[in-house]
Amino acid sequence: MPYLLLDEGAIVDSEHWSPEARNVVAAIFRLEHHRGTREAVELIGLLARWLEAPDQTRLRRHFAIWIKRVLLPNWIPESEGTEWQNLNELNEVHNMLAERAKRWSEQWKQQGLEEGLKQGREEGRKQGRQEGRKQGRQEGLMESEQKGEQKARLEVARNMIERTQLDDQTVADLSGLDIAQVRTLRDELKR
């Protein structure tokens, strides 16, 4: 069985295959490798014009079906998926694409912004939780250290009061407690 090998990439990128060239195969390859919605709409329009002869009706329908089944699912927003199923003519597909494609870039931009905000919020929350935990640990350690120091000062003052005859001011100076704390401790020990 004879066959013809075509290099899609070479046809799509070649200057010899200009947009004006009435070559359906080149247009199909370019459509598969389009660089944006606008280019795709233009290519479908070219195909529709090239195949407008009455004897090309079947071919136009086949192209419409191929575009609906193969290309459109990757192009159109999910919210518009079912409307395309009723299109059976290449001109209908082109007209609807030309009309709708103008709105899609705005929808995609809005969708991208929403996804970006959502991702930013999630990352912010995660980072906030991590920083909160870190700060909580640091504060907990500091508080623990402070309580430990306070407990140690009270223990030193208690030992001085019980074992020496030092006055409250001297005990306060040596233990690092204030005089009121030393007096309260002395009163507790007398009970």
Kindly state the greatest CA–CA separation across the chain.
Answer: 121
pTM of the entire predicted model: 0.46
What whole-number distance in Å separates Cα of residue 134 and Cα of residue 126?
A: 12
Residue 179 confidence (pLDDT): 92
Q: Which residues of 82-99 are buried (b: 16+ CB within 10 A; e: fewer)?
A: eebeebeebbebbbbbee
Task: Return the number of other C-beta atoms located less than 10 Å from residue 129's C-beta.
Answer: 10
Mean pLDDT is lowest, of 22-26, 93-97, 129-133, for 22-26
pLDDT of residue 18: 53
Instruction: Give the tens place of pLDDT for each residue, 162-180.
Output: 888 889 999 898 888 889 9
Query: Could you tell me which residue, 38 or 184, shows the higher pLDDT?
Result: 184
- Count how many Cα atoms sit within 13 Å of the Cα of residue 147 in the half-sphere of its side chain: 6
Cβ(157)–Cβ(182) below 8 Å: yes
Structure tokens at 77: 């927003």
Q: What is the pLDDT of residues 8-27, one digit of tens each?
A: 666 666 666 555 444 677 77
